[in-house]
Homo-oligomer: A and B are copies of this chain.
Amino acid sequence: MKKLINQPENVVQEMIEGFVAAYPKSLKRVPNTNVIVRADAPVQGKVGIVSGGGSGHEPAHGGYVGKGMLDGAVAGEVFTSPTPDQVFEAIKAVDGGKGVLLIIKNYTGDVMNFEMAAELAEAEGIQVLKVVVNDDVAVENSTYTVGRRGIAGTVFVHKISGALAEMGASLEEVAAVANKVVENLSSMGMALTPCTVPAAGKPGFTIGESEMEIGMGIHGEPGIERSEIKSADEVAEILLNKVLDQLQLNENDKVAVMINGLGATPLMELYIVNNKVSKILKEKNITVHETFIGEYMTSLEMAGCSITLLRLDDQLTELLDASADTIAFKK
């Protein structure tokens, strides 16, 4: 295992410490928890937004805490859901009296633990709504998931619901726009190499030297096709076609595009993938409003990428364009 770490069992604690130490003006840690919140949390009179999940997907989710996106992020152990009490701590820390929205990627453990936290919060009089993100169109059910998985498109849910919350909307309005994003969101990924959970010490699965896997999840869950490595153009076409099928876009529809690296993929390769993606969308007369390329939701040191499209109407466009000031997403 080639990793820049100390003791494998301490990676999450040391990561959170090192992260908060880097950005003391923007972020603070809720003492004795794995919860990171805006430095000015709770913001009175604003809907609070909390997301999170297992660690190993950095910059998700702590990197999206800040003005115009999340109020708080909860980190579990690597690829492990945060416990209900940790999520509850996050809810309490960001509640500014207007209720809290939980943005949950669709993994059974996350859904269960966030729901339990919501119940704890409601018992204390904090109004909570939830949105479950299931943008991964690769497979219908998966290792840790009933229904489709949530992957990188989740960042668009953070961005857009965060913008509306910042404008003073109600909890119901913020939850409604988050659900609207989910309904217009579609992603799919692929992997060239596996990744190693530090405590396990060896890769969670193997891919042959000349193989790749299409449709793989961000925890290494099986995809839909194991094949010889294909060209970047072929990969882009396969992923994008599945994403387009799901969204049923029409000519002149407008989208935001995300080409997400899973951890070990050079930006050069993501730009090459975008070269094909942008050409296919142009041929189909689909308007690209904005393209995001980089590492938005990773799988430790997995090599591979995912492609996300978000169909935009006027409301979603305005909210996507609104300012955001977080570590990993600035506008």
Contacts and interface: CB of A to CB of B under 8 A. Distances in A.
Interface of A: 2-6, 11, 14-19, 21-23, 55-56, 58-59, 63, 192-193, 209, 212, 229, 231-233, 235, 257, 259, 263-276, 278-279, 291, 293, 295, 298, 300-301, 303-305, 330
A21 B274 contact: yes
A197 to B, nearest CB: 11
A5 B271 contact: no
Contacts of A276: 18
Contact of A5 (B231, B295, B305): B231
**In the A-B complex, the 7 residue pairs with the closest CB atoms:** A18-B275, A264-B264, A58-B267, A18-B271, A22-B291, A21-B278, A4-B269
B233 A271 contact: no
A133 to B, nearest CB: 21
Q: In the assembly, how many copies of this chain are there? A: 2
Contact of A15 (B3, B229, B268, B300): B268
Given A23-B291, A291-B23, A17 B275 contact: yes
Contacts of A231: 5-6
A192 B176 CA distance: 46
A274 to B, nearest CB: 4
